[in-house]
A and B are shown apart, each in its own frame.
Chain A
Amino acid sequence: MIQVENLQHTFLIGKKGKEKQVPVLKGVNFEVKKGEIVAIVGKSGSGKSTLLQILAGFMKSEQGSIKVNGKEAANFTEVESAAFRLQHFGFIFQNFQLMPGLTASENIELPLKLQGIKKAMRAEKVKILMDKVGLAEVADHYPNELSGGQQQRVSIARALITNPPILLADEPTGSLDSETEQDILLLIQSLNREFGLTFVIITHDEEVATIAHRHFRMCDGELVKEEA
């Protein structure tokens, strides 16, 4: 489903004219199969977030290839990349990234609005999904009226609403307490089992990695270890 080959990236750090080159990705190779949960574990500054951002198309790599469903995504323009994201990826962020001025249901339907889906159809899809992720009671609540766990569920529902084949999660439990973390991990597992969704999870938390079918360890810009 996703094939990453020889992905390299360098950051320029420091004052203009006196920049220092810091390599963050040093030829990363990995593959994600359909229906898999893959965790990329690493410490802060190991390059795992950069890997996710390049994978998502938020930034371009200097070198290497990213194939998603056989399509080369590394050389997309900004417009192509946005359209590709809308169709193929769902995002789960550490700090949820919900729109504060929109209710839970409005946040969830946002990707459908971007796809140009009509209101009636949107409402139906949102209702079904909210029931599934246990948010039916808080549909009209604003993000600041929700608990951390509920906000992350809204974020997951928003990622799922367009039925994307791949979900990219950046520290999905980073802002949650351990009890809520377990709830969210169980939800991810059940979604994977029930709908065969593919998850790529970036985390520093070994506990999170336990739900993955495979996990890679990121260290100084290299994927150094693949564990069973």
Chain B
Amino acid sequence: MLFKDQLDFVTQHIKKNKLRVFMTVLAATMGCAFLIVLASVGFGLQDSIRNEILSDENITKIQVFGNDQFTEEQIHEIKSIEHVKTVLETITVNASGHSFFEDRDTLSDVYVANMQDFEQVNGKLAKGKYPTKPNEIVVGYHFAQTLINDAERKIIEEKSKKAEAEGTFYNGSEEGYKDSLIGKEIELSLMPHTDNAEEGEKIKYTVVGVMKKPSYDWMVNKSIYMDTEQKPMLTTNLATTGNVKEDDMFHSEFNIFADSVENVKPILDKLKDDGYNVYSVTEQLDQMNVFFLVLKIGLIFVGTIAVLIASIGIFNTMTMAVTERTREIGVLKAIGASPKIIQRLFLMESTFIGIIGTLIAVVISYIISFVANAALPVILEAATGEEAFSKNNITFSLIPWQLVIIAAAISISVAMISGYRPARKATKIDVIQALRQEL
């Protein structure tokens, strides 16, 4: 029997029992949609957390633990590893930088780094350029905002008190220097963190660049960055503050940067093999993936129970179909239909129910997922008053193609298995008994 004729035979019978088949397809749809939507919560949450980790600007950074300073040779060796973008030595000055501009001032951390490596890691600035001349600096995105005078200090204090009374927090974003600092000259004096140290002499610097806005809203970057060539000048300046040993003036930190997130893991493994004590935030991803894999398997398992319940409907429908068509099956067998063909015709019918149910379920699941992602943040925000739900862009439900494949495989297999027994029953029908049945 040609495949097309088999299909015709099946569709003809489905058309004859539209309502019953529709109800069975509906049950299969509900089971499969439940499976997809349930598992999509696991996929969605994993995606949200993954994005949160990946949005970290230091995602390609490999931190090096320990106080050991890298030798030039080691840096060269690490730089030669494939996909290593650079090895950045960041020197933290063990002092607060007290900056003065007009009648304004602010306190910030001061970092010294090779500006070429620094540029490679940080990319484009929000404004200006990286330092190329002596006494040029780059400042953090919020540096200008934190440059305040006494009058503004008082206003901030008042606003903060008011906000505190209302149970909120004021971050001072409405005050500070509003114009561009690019090309402006500031004076910087260093205040060592050690006891009994005095504030150093003021050094003049020109602001030539402003760093990008930090990736998180809550992060404030008011630091000062300068080239390693400035280090001797800073050393001299710090020496004048007294009571500061040369060894305590600076603290070095080495970070290795990969060219992309995907290449972090191989570099990390290589460095670990070479005996370096290194860590990357992507290691959290691995641990998280294991956790979510277990969660998703659990959700799919629970969803499969719904599919199994729906399969009872398919089993009933197919058993009814075989019983109703006993005489027709008898005639088919009498005129020469092989048991294999008869079994296949009924299996095709149950598979058809499974496929249609799955297709509708996939469409419905995508709609539910879309609506859930759009509506849930609004509902949760309204219910809890927490703005984080809408601000953080949380994915409540995500349906990747892999989930569709898994759900379809489960639903269609279960539908076929449900139809197997009735199909076998059809092949066992006795021709003589069947032909004796009344029309």
| Interfacial residues, chain A to chain B (CB-CB below 8 A) | 53, 56, 58-59, 78-79, 82-83, 85-87, 89, 91, 93, 95, 97-101, 110-111, 113-114, 116, 118-119, 158
What 1/0 flags go to B304-339 for Cβ under 8 Å of A? 000000000000000000000001101111111111
B439 in contact with A100 (CB, 8 Å): yes
Most buried by B among A58, A78, A93: A58
Contacts of A58 in B (CB 8 A): 334, 431-432
Of A93, A95, A113, the contact of B5 (CB 8 Å cutoff): A113
Minimum-distance CB pairs A-B, first 7: A86-B336, A85-B336, A58-B431, A82-B338, A113-B5, A97-B331, A111-B335
B335 in contact with A118 (CB, 8 Å): no
Contacts of B184 in A (CB 8 A): none
Contacts of B13 in A (CB 8 A): 101
How many whole Å from A130's CB to the nearest CB in chain B? 17
Given contacts A93-B435, A97-B435, A116-B2, contact A56 B339 (CB under 8 A): no
B5 in contact with A91 (CB, 8 Å): no
Answer yes or no: B16 CB below 8 A from chain A CBs: yes
Most buried by B among A91, A95, A99, A113: A113
Secondary structure at the B interface, as helix, strand, loop or mixed, is helix
B334 in contact with A79 (CB, 8 Å): no
A83 in contact with B335 (CB, 8 Å): no
Report the tally of A-B residue pairs with Cβ distances under 8 A.
61
A-B contact pairs, 13 of them (CB 8 A): A58-B334, A59-B432, A79-B339, A85-B336, A86-B335, A86-B337, A87-B336, A93-B334, A93-B435, A95-B439, A99-B328, A110-B335, A116-B2
Most buried by B among A59, A82, A100: A82
Of B328, B331, B336, B439, the contact of A82 (CB 8 Å cutoff): B336
Answer yes or no: B340 CB below 8 A from chain A CBs: yes
Bound complex: CA of A116 vs CA of B439, how far in Å?
28
B328 in contact with A114 (CB, 8 Å): no
Q: Which residue of A lies closest to B5 (CB)?
A: A113
Bound complex: CA of A48 vs CA of B9, how far in Å?
34
Bound complex: CA of A118 vs CA of B4, how far in Å?
10
Answer yes or no: B290 CB below 8 A from chain A CBs: no
How many whole Å from A10's CB to the nearest CB in chain B? 16
Contacts of A111 in B (CB 8 A): 335-336
7 more CB-based (< 8 A) A-B contacts, given A58-B432, A113-B1: A58-B431, A59-B432, A83-B336, A93-B334, A99-B331, A114-B332, A116-B2
Chain B stretch 325-366: residues in CB contact (< 8 A) with chain A: 327-328, 330-341
